[in-house]
């Protein structure tokens, strides 16, 4: 089994409910969406960059695609990690590959939550799910209602259980409509442990402090809600 991987490195989680947790990151190539605020680095898809010594900024280039054994060996070289972050791109595009991964640390899926059939393949393999919710004003693609239905189904499949924690992450911009956020959170309340409001990093589109606090207050009546920016951008660790 092979998959194209753009980067493998060890750092700390910079977003969501597990900010600060030490992780091995496996960043897969490819995504099925085209979001306007996407900040995923675009590297050479023909090679995977592997940083053996965390924080050294010294990378080895390995030809893609990689085998499951190769990824397992590289992840195994990192010590004392909380989990293995499967990110991208969209890692669910490579669900068959992920289903074969065996790591000592639990798997942490970072997904746009739009591929429910793929989610079914790995639902029993992941211990943490950081699920993005794409709002209408930022969505670029096919019919939004169909997109939303797939998102809800993904959260249902990957919901919080006694063996898995699933939370939702919503990027908030100056264009975000509060009722849209509240409406979507209402549909997945029974599937997630918390909601994370993530202010967009672009200063031109940043929502006001008051808007964020008012939105958080509205959601706190329903679910644990936190405002967490992209902390890794504050100190440049990724």
Q: How confident is the model at residue 162 (pLDDT cuts 50, 70, 90)?
A: very high
Tell me the DSSP string of 175-207: T--HHHHHHHHHHHTTT-S-EEEEE-S-GGGPP
In this model, does residue 195 exceed pLDDT 60?
yes
Considering the chain, what percentage of its residues have pLDDT values greater than 70? 91
161 Cβ contact partners less than 8 Å away, ≥ 6 residues apart: none
Contact 129, 111 (CB under 8 A): yes
In this model, does residue 37 exceed pLDDT 80?
no
5-12/22-28 β-pairing: antiparallel
Token duo for residue 11: 């750092």
Domains of the chain: residue spans and CATH:
2-168 (3.20.20.70)
Q: How confident is the model at residue 200 (pLDDT cuts 50, 70, 90)?
A: confident
Contact 46, 63 (CB under 8 A): yes
Q: Which of 143, 151, 144 is nearest to 169 (CA)?
A: 151
Which helix (H) or strand (E) is 111 found in, with range? strand 107-111
In this model, does residue 106 exceed pLDDT 70?
yes
Mean pLDDT, to the nearest integer, of 46-65? 96
């Amino acid at each position: 089994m092979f998959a194209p991987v753009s980067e493998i490195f060890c750092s700390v989680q910079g977003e969501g409910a597990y900010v600060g947790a030490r992780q091995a990151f496996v960043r897969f190539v490819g995504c099925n969406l085209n979001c306007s605020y996407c900040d995923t680095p675009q590297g050479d898809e023909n090679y995977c960059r592997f940083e053996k010594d965390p924080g050294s900024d010294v990378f080895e280039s390995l030809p893609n695609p990689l085998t499951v054994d190769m990824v397992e060996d590289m992840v195994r070289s990192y010590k004392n990690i909380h989990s293995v972050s499967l990110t991208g791109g969209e890692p669910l595009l490579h669900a068959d590959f992920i289903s074969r991964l065996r790591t000592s640390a639990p798997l942490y899926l970072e997904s746009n939550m739009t591929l429910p059939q793929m989610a079914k393949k790995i639902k029993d393999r992941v211990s943490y799910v950081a699920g993005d919710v794409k709002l209408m004003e930022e969505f670029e693609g096919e019919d939004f209602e169909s997109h939303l239905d797939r998102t809800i189904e993904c959260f249902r499949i990957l919901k919080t259980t006694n063996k898995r924690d699933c939370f939702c992450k919503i990027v908030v911009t100056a264009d975000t409509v509060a009722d849209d956020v509240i409406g979507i959170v209402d549909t997945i309340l029974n599937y997630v442990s918390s909601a994370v409001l993530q202010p967009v990093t672009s200063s031109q589109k940043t929502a006001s402090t008051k808007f964020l606090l008012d939105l958080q207050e509205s959601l706190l009546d329903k679910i644990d809600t936190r405002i967490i920016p992209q902390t890794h951008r504050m100190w440049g660790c990724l």
